[in-house]
């Protein structure tokens, strides 16, 4: 019985992902079996097809055009200073805070901004509008940054759950998913309060997935590995998580 | 001074704000980055945007480059991510790719550039089938395949660039090859 699959033959072609013994086994089998040789030739032909396409080459003006576009952005402020970016600071803060506390902190910042607005609105004296709008903008920026980090962690959990076969990794992933459930709720609440219903709805859509990953034994719409992969493919959830994350990052950069 | 040392010097000078040194790095690597980005995106305009973004990102993080990997490897990785980011920005589903009916579409352009149908009708037909199959691949499948087949990267390197497990990278390549084989079936 031939136990060499076409996938093995693809790895054999690239001499990658197979140990030395397996390579020798396949070499011997190819020598002994005309059938297997035929399958291997078919794979090599398919792979050779990819080489028939011309190599993409930029037009002659590409480098000059590229430089014209790059230059104004590069040296407007001389060399990049080696100071921590807001993102680095955020990572440091994130390392210190666990996800639920992080969400709580973001929700507090938002609540504080809402509180300032409410308090300011009750005063008879004219409110410094600039200060209030600045506080609101800061709160939204903080929320965006925290939610973007939360979505990055969620993306990692989804990827690990759908791609990993390691029991240890999946156990750790379950714990991480559990820790994200509560923060997800808080962020959804904070987004609602900030008037960002689209983000709030999206976060609520994530909640059952995180719950399923945190409690794999429960009957839930998502099960790890194959089932989750199918679910992610059919709902496009991973793409949406990345897109939401990118939107929040871009929003943060524009406001910074 | 050999090329690697010279490049290390350019990196060091560019990180101190030397425009000429950074220009040398751009000139040395732009074509290679364009090639991989065009293969991933299937679109020349997106590939150009990705290369520009990659160099901007590289410039911003030049001081983080620690020299453990080759500069080209580091830059290449940034470019692959920039190409993937361009694809995401097009707000496309992972199974959808840029349509082939646009004038600047790289895959279509390459068909039009092919020799006339008299001598190469069959190969042009096969090439068109390959392009169709490449477009059927998801971004991840095509990127994994491009990195393995055209760029000669190992599964381990591909997994690191795409943030996938080695097994998931393998599966992406297997699916890509299966789709490529479909291009042979109608004519085979």
**Using one digit for the tens of pLDDT, what is the confidence trace for B143-158?**
999 999 999 999 999 9
* Residues B15, A246: C-beta atoms closer than 8 Å: no
Give the Cβ contact number of residue B36 at 10 Å.
24
Find, in chain B, the residue whose alpha carbon is nearest to that of A55: B35
* Residues B177, A43: C-beta atoms closer than 8 Å: yes
Q: Which member of B95, B149, B166 has the closest CB to residue A47?
A: B149
Regarding whether B2 and B78 lie in a shared domain, the answer is: yes
Whole-angstrom distance, CA of residue B11 vs CA of residue B22: 7
Q: What is the pLDDT of residues A43-91, one digit of tens each?
A: 998 898 888 888 899 999 999 999 999 988 876 655 444 444 444 444 5
As a whole number, mean pLDDT of residues B74-92 equals: 87
Regarding whether B104 and B19 lie in a shared domain, the answer is: no
Find, in chain B, the residue whose alpha carbon is nearest to that of A236: B93
Whole-angstrom distance, CA of residue A179 vs CA of residue A99: 6
User: What CATH code is carried by the domain that includes residue B147?
Assistant: 1.10.10.10
Q: Provide the residue count of chain A.
A: 256
Find, in chain A, the residue whose alpha carbon is nearest to that of B17: A79
Q: What is the pLDDT of residues B15-58, one digit of tens each?
A: 888 889 999 999 999 999 999 999 999 899 999 999 999 999 99
* Residue pLDDT tens, chain A, 256 long: 458 999 999 999 999 999 999 999 999 999 999 999 999 999 998 898 888 888 899 999 999 999 999 988 876 655 444 444 444 444 544 554 555 556 666 666 666 555 555 555 555 444 455 555 666 676 777 778 888 888 888 888 887 777 766 677 777 788 888 888 888 888 888 888 877 888 888 888 888 888 888 887 544 444 556 677 777 766 777 778 888 888 887 776 555 4
pLDDT of residue B94: 45
B26 contacts in A (CB within 8 Å)? 63, 66-67, 70
Regarding whether B115 and B83 lie in a shared domain, the answer is: no
* B148 burial via Cβ count (<10 Å: 0-12, 13-18, 19+): buried
Out of B91, B113, B138, a domain closes at B91
Q: What is the pLDDT of residues B95-109, one digit of tens each?
A: 444 443 333 344 443
Out of B91, B119, B136, a domain closes at B91
User: What CATH code is carried by the domain that includes residue B15?
Assistant: 1.10.1740.10
A70 contacts in B (CB within 8 Å)? 26, 52, 55-56, 59
Q: Which member of A7, A52, A74 has the closest CB to residue B174?
A: A7
If one counts the domains in chain B, the total is 2
In this structure, are residues A161 and A238 in contact, taking their beta carbons and an 8 Å threshold?
no
* Residues A56, B35: C-beta atoms closer than 8 Å: yes
Regarding whether B105 and B181 lie in a shared domain, the answer is: yes
pLDDT of residue A124: 45
This model of the complex carries an ipTM of 0.79
- The DSSP secondary-structure symbol of A225 reads T
Out of B43, B75, B91, a domain closes at B91
Tokens of B165: 């497990």
Regarding whether B107 and B86 lie in a shared domain, the answer is: no
Q: Which member of B17, B88, B184 has the closest CB to residue A49?
A: B184
3-state secondary structure of B178: helix
In this structure, are residues B82 and B76 in contact, taking their beta carbons and an 8 Å threshold?
no
Instruction: Work out how many CB contacts closer than 8 A connect A with B.
Output: 130
* Residues A17, B47: C-beta atoms closer than 8 Å: no
* Residues A70, B145: C-beta atoms closer than 8 Å: no
Regarding whether B82 and B56 lie in a shared domain, the answer is: yes
Regarding whether B1 and B80 lie in a shared domain, the answer is: yes
* Residues A42, B184: C-beta atoms closer than 8 Å: yes
* Residues A7, B27: C-beta atoms closer than 8 Å: no
Q: Domain locations in chain A?
A: 6-50, 86-255
As a whole number, mean pLDDT of residues B169-180 equals: 94
In this structure, are residues A49 and B130 in contact, taking their beta carbons and an 8 Å threshold?
yes
* Residues A53, B130: C-beta atoms closer than 8 Å: yes
Q: Which member of A80, A236, A243 has the closest CB to residue B62?
A: A80
Whole-angstrom distance, CA of residue B180 vs CA of residue B172: 12
Regarding whether B62 and B21 lie in a shared domain, the answer is: yes
* Residues B148, A16: C-beta atoms closer than 8 Å: yes
- The DSSP secondary-structure symbol of B43 reads B
Tokens of B159: 């997994």
Regarding whether B125 and B38 lie in a shared domain, the answer is: no
Regarding whether B133 and B87 lie in a shared domain, the answer is: no
In this structure, are residues B94 and B57 in contact, taking their beta carbons and an 8 Å threshold?
no
Range of the domain at B120: 96-188
């Amino acid at each position: 019985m031939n136990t060499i699959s076409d996938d093995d033959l693809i790895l054999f072609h690239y001499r990658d992902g197979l140990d030395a013994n397996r390579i020798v086994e396949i070499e011997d089998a190819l020598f002994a079996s005309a059938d297997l040789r035929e399958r291997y030739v078919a794979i090599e032909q398919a792979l050779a097809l990819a080489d028939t396409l011309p190599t993409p080459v930029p037009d002659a003006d590409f480098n000059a055009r590229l430089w014209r576009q790059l230059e104004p952005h590069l040296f407007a402020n001389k060399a990049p200073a080696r100071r921590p970016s807001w993102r680095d600071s955020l990572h440091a803060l994130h390392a210190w805070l666990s996800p639920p506390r992080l969400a709580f902190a973001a929700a507090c910042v938002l609540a504080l901004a809402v509180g300032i607005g409410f308090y300011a609105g009750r005063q008879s004296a004219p409110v410094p509008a600039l200060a209030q709008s600045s506080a609101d903008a800061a709160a939204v920026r903080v929320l965006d940054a925290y939610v973007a980090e939360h979505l990055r962690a969620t993306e990692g959990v989804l990827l690990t759950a759908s791609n990993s076969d390691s029991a240890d990794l999946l156990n750790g992933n379950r714990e991480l998913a559990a820790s994200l459930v509560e923060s997800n709720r808080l962020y959804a609440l904070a987004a609602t309060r900030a008037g960002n219903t689209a983000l709030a709805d999206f976060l609520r859509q994530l909640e059952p997935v995180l719950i399923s990953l945190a409690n794999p034994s429960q009957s839930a719409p998502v099960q790890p590995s194959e089932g989750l992969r199918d679910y992610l493919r059919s709902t496009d959830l991973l793409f949406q998580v990345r897109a939401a994350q990118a939107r929040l990052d871009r929003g943060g950069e524009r406001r910074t | 001074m050999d090329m690697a040392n010279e490049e290390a010097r350019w990196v060091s000078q560019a990180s101190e704000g030397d425009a000429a040194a950074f220009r040398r790095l751009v000139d040395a690597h732009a074509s290679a980055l364009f090639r991989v980005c065009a293969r991933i995106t299937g679109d020349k305009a997106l590939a150009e945007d990705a290369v520009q973004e990659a160099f901007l990102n590289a410039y911003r993080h030049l001081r983080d480059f620690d020299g453990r990997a080759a500069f080209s490897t580091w830059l290449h990785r940034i470019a692959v991510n920039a190409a993937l980011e361009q694809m995401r920005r097009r707000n496309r589903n992972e199974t959808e790719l840029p349509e082939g009916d646009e004038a600047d579409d790289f895959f279509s352009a390459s068909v039009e550039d092919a020799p006339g149908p008299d001598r190469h009708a069959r190969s042009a037909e096969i090439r068109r089938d390959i392009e169709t199959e490449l477009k059927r691949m998801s971004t991840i499948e095509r990127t994994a395949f491009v990195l393995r087949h055209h760029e000669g990267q190992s599964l381990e390197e591909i997994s690191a660039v795409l943030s996938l497990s080695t097994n998931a990278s393998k599966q992406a390549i297997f699916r890509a090859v299966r789709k490529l084989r479909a291009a042979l079936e109608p004519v085979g």
